[in-house]
């Protein structure tokens, strides 16, 4: 499944044309789950919320594609491409990957915003004294008046 692949393009077209509502029903709670989970300090809790969010978005993605193909196939005089939903099985197994990438980036961004640039004590740089001004050097080629 890569962009530019005709099956993937058809798969995404079906999702956005006919299966957008079930996809949003998975996408919105997944984003809310990431938003709530990124506020916790415990990495285990944040990881659990991230996992639940990925499952919600993946479920919405899969249900949106399935619903999209069924609507497309129920239209009057559907084209032959409407019955070539072999990519839906690939969405079942690989649909979690876009969910992981999108929600992982959102999760990292929200953690960075909420918790700032706080580093553990062992990773902090030592405080250095300020630099002293550079001494001025006189050169032999200078002329005096």
Say whether pLDDT at 143 is over 70.
no
Residue of higher predicted confidence among 77 and 118: 77
Q: Which tokens is 83 given?
A: 């019955």
Distance CA 115, CA 129 (A): 28
What pLDDT is stored for residue 34 in this prediction?
94
Query: Which of the four pLDDT bands, split at 50, 70 and 90, describes residue 25?
Result: very high
Residue with tokens 């944040």: 46
Distance CA 87, CA 8 (A): 7
**Positive or negative, the Cα torsion across 12, 16, 17, 18?**
positive
Q: How many residues does the chain have?
A: 145
Helices (H), 18-42: 20-37
Distance CA 62, CA 14 (A): 11
What pLDDT is stored for residue 1 in this prediction?
45
């Amino acid at each position: 499944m890569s962009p530019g692949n005709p099956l993937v393009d058809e798969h995404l077209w079906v999702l956005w044309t006919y299966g957008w509502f079930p996809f949003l029903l998975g996408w919105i709670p997944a984003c809310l789950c990431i938003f709530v989970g990124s506020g916790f300090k415990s990495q285990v809790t944040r990881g659990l919320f991230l996992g639940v969010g990925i499952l919600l978005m993946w479920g919405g993605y899969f249900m949106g594609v399935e619903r999209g193909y069924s609507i497309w196939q129920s239209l009057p005089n559907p084209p032959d491409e409407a019955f070539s939903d072999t990519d839906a099985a690939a969405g079942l197994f690989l649909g979690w990957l876009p969910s992981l990438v999108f929600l992982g980036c959102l999760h990292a961004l929200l953690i960075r915003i909420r918790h700032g640039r706080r580093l553990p004590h062992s990773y902090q740089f030592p405080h250095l004294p300020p630099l002293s001004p550079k001494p001025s050097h006189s050169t032999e080629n200078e002329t005096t008046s």
